[in-house]
């Protein structure tokens, strides 16, 4: 068994200072519990093959704090202390969660992360079993930090009760699943009332203006920044690429940088690899655009996350993505060197074709150069289909997962801006890894084109707390003058 590096665990947090929406939450449809969004983790324990890998988390509190962007594609120090697991103190409260073999990487991490955040708030040690995960083991991709306590020897078989948000009556040893929304209801209790009211006003404005592009100021309301930051802590704690992933990121970075330098290299026969490393800046500014296709189109047609906040969906439509891109380049019509767009898509050939077609209506000098990562193993013709992925051999699944984690890591570390749709879990992964300072206000370097950030499975759970933009328009309009007095709400009279 690997040696464990003890790390401090904080004290349990006190009663939430946020508004309790429990009566309203009872009416929220549990159907949306099918899609969860990743948030903070206090302590993780991973079952790896026949051995365990334990992950600690410092207890987080929902308090505003600055998050300074740090590169995620860096080497991590390994545990050198060598304290045996049996010498660690016993984990007194545990929550068991098992990674399943049916969902996408982003979706599965989102489900787990939401439960893990609640475990952190209630001082549970999260026990995660990845023995059946359809992507292999977490350690196949990440260097997972160890834990500073040890779970009961029979942590998997011991009697447990379902976590159901029952307060002091909750058991010391609980379990949670994708189909249980108890932890989701608990988390929503921490949403500030200012966000609920402002979201109602934003929804009304979006519907009234028939918007097809989400305003930058609606990406993230300042009052829910603490929850966003807690989720960012969770992502950054887990997202520690191992050396294999770092090597892949470096290969990709050199290859793409050589493409950016291609005009110079034609005459100088040079290459960008000399003296180039993970910390080196790219030869030109890069804007990453995630353009999800495949089964996400059918999913969004069913769940309609954009329509829930009065927006027209951007799925499969290049226009809103390019409009946001151009907002980051005010002089794009006259610029002598436009930023390069790094297109992240599960169907890059189709995405490039759509982007090229869209740009063909502009003069060549106003067209953004497009680059994509090398094509990975292919199991479908038209984007990612989770059912096809699940039936593919494990080695193929791991190759696809490696390419995905590589691309996301590269984009987060090397992009001046990121443009995507928060309807995608992968978009939210990048936003959390970048941090809240890149989303709040009109000048953030990251934008969602059609769906604002939300803390739970789907935006509907949070949106259900707000007044209905159509049925309750008079009540919402009456709130506008009061909310407009706080400039941070970005509500215009």
Q: What local confidence, expressed as pLDDT, does residue 36 receive?
A: 40
- pLDDT at position 236, please? 85
| pLDDT grade for 294, boundaries at 50, 70 and 90 | low
Instruction: Give percent above pLDDT 90 in the chain.
Output: 48
pLDDT tens track for 167-211: 888 899 999 888 888 888 888 998 999 999 999 999 999 999 999
Instruction: Give dist(CA 305, CA 316) in Å, integer.
Output: 14
Tokens 């040079």, residue?
Answer: 270
Residue 76: its pLDDT value, please? 63
Model pLDDT, residue 19:
41
| Average pLDDT score, the chain | 82
Of the candidates 117, 127, 122, 119, the residue with the CA atom closest to the CA atom of residue 153: 127
What mean pLDDT comes out for the span 276-290? 92
Determine the average pLDDT of the residues in 295-314. Answer: 81
pLDDT at 240: 92
Q: Which of the two residues, 451 and 117, has the higher pLDDT score? A: 451
Q: What is the mean pLDDT of residues 207-227?
A: 95
- C-alpha dihedral sign at 175, 179, 182, 188: positive
pLDDT at residue 265 in the model = 56
Q: Which of these ranges, 44-58, 259-273, 448-462, has the smallest mean pLDDT?
A: 44-58
Q: How confident is the model at residue 273 (pLDDT cuts 50, 70, 90)?
A: low
What's the rounded mean pLDDT across residues 128-133? 87
Q: How high is the pLDDT of residue 266?
A: 54
3-state secondary structure of 206: helix
Average pLDDT of 242-247? 96
Lowest mean pLDDT among 264-273, 292-301, 360-369: 264-273
Q: What is the DSSP string of 183-203?
A: HHHHHHTTS-HHHHHHHHHHH
- Of 449, 450, 489, whose CA–CA distance to 201 is shortest? 489
pLDDT of residue 66 exceeding 80, the answer is: no
Residue 328 has what pLDDT? 97
Lowest mean pLDDT among 59-63, 216-220, 378-382, 404-408: 59-63
The residues, ordered by sequence, that sit 6+ positions from 441 with a Cβ below 8 Å of its Cβ are 216, 217, 490
Res. 72: pLDDT tops 60: yes
Per-residue pLDDT at 451 exceeds 60: yes
Identify the DSSP state of 487: G
CB distance 180 to 33 below 8 Å = yes
Predicted confidence band at 249 (pLDDT cuts at 50, 70, 90)?
Answer: very high
Q: pLDDT class for 29, splitting at 50, 70, 90?
A: very low
**47: pLDDT strictly greater than 60:** no
- Taking the C-alpha atoms of residue 318 and residue 213, their distance in angstroms, rounded to an integer, is 11
- The H-or-E segment that residue 157 falls in is none
Question: What's the rounded mean pLDDT across residues 92-110?
Answer: 88
Is the model's pLDDT at 146 over the cut of 70?
Answer: yes
Joined together, the tokens standing for residue 44 give 């993780």
pLDDT of res. 221: 97
Beta-ladder partners of 342: 288, 371
pLDDT at 35 over 50: no
The per-residue pLDDT for 81 is 52
Most confident of 12-16, 52-56, 91-95, 441-445: 441-445
Better-predicted residue by pLDDT, 52 or 225: 225
Structure-model confidence comparison of residues 215 and 30, the more confident one: 215
> Is the model more confident about 365 or about 457?
365
């Amino acid at each position: 068994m690997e040696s464990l590096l003890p790390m401090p665990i904080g004290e349990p947090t006190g009663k939430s200072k946020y508004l309790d929406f429990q009566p309203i939450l009872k009416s929220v449809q549990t159907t949306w519990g099918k899609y969860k969004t990743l948030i903070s983790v206090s302590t993780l324990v991973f079952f790896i093959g026949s051995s365990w890998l334990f992950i600690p988390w410092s207890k987080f509190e929902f308090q505003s704090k600055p998050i300074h962007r740090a590169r995620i594609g860096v080497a991590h120090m390994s545990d050198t202390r060598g304290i045996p697991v049996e010498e660690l103190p016993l984990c007194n409260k545990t929550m068991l969660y098992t990674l399943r073999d049916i969902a996408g990487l982003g979706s599965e991490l989102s489900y787990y992360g939401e439960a893990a955040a609640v475990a952190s708030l209630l001082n549970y040690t999260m026990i995660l079993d990845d023995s059946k995960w359809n992507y292999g083991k977490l350690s196949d991709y990440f260097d997972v930090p160890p834990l500073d306590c040890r779970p009961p020897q029979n942590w998997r078989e011991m009697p447990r009760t379902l976590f159901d948000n029952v307060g002091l009556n909750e058991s010391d040893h609980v379990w949670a699943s994708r189909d249980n929304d108890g932890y989701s209801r608990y988390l929503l209790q921490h949403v500030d009332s200012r966000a609920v009211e402002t979201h109602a006003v934003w929804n009304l404005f979006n519907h009234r203006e028939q918007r097809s592009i989400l305003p930058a100021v609606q990406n993230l309301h300042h009052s829910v920044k603490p929850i966003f930051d807690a989720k960012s802590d969770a992502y950054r704690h887990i997202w520690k690429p191992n050396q294999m992933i770092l090597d892949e990121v470096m290969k990709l970075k050199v290859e793409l940088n050589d493409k950016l330098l291609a005009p110079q290299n034609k005459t100088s026969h040079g290459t960008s690899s000399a003296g180039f490393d993970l910390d080196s800046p790219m030869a030109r500014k890069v804007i990453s655009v995630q353009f999800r296709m495949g089964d996400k189109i059918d999913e969004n047609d069913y769940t309609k996350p954009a329509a829930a906040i009065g927006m027209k969906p951007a799925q499969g439509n290049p226009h809103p993505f390019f409009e946001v891109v151009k907002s980051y380049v005010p002089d794009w019509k006259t610029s002598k060197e436009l930023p390069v767009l790094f297109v992240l898509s599960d169907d890059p050939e189709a995405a490039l074709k759509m982007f090229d077609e869209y740009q063909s209506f502009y003069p060549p000098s106003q067209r953004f150069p497009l680059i994509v990562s090398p094509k990975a193993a292919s199991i479908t013709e038209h984007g990612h289909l989770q059912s096809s992925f699940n039936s593919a051999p494990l080695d193929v699944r791991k190759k696809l997962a490696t390419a995905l984690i590589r691309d996301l890591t590269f984009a987060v570390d090397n992009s001046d801006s990121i443009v995507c749709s928060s309807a995608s879990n992968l978009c939210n992964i990048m936003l959390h890894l970048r941090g809240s300072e890149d989303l709040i206000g009109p000048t953030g370097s990251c934008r969602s084109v059609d769906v604002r950030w939300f803390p739970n499975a789907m935006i509907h759970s949070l949106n259900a707390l707000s007044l209905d933009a159509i049925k309750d328009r008079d009540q919402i309009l009456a709130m506008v003058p009061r909310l407009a007095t706080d400039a941070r709400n970005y509500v215009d009279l």
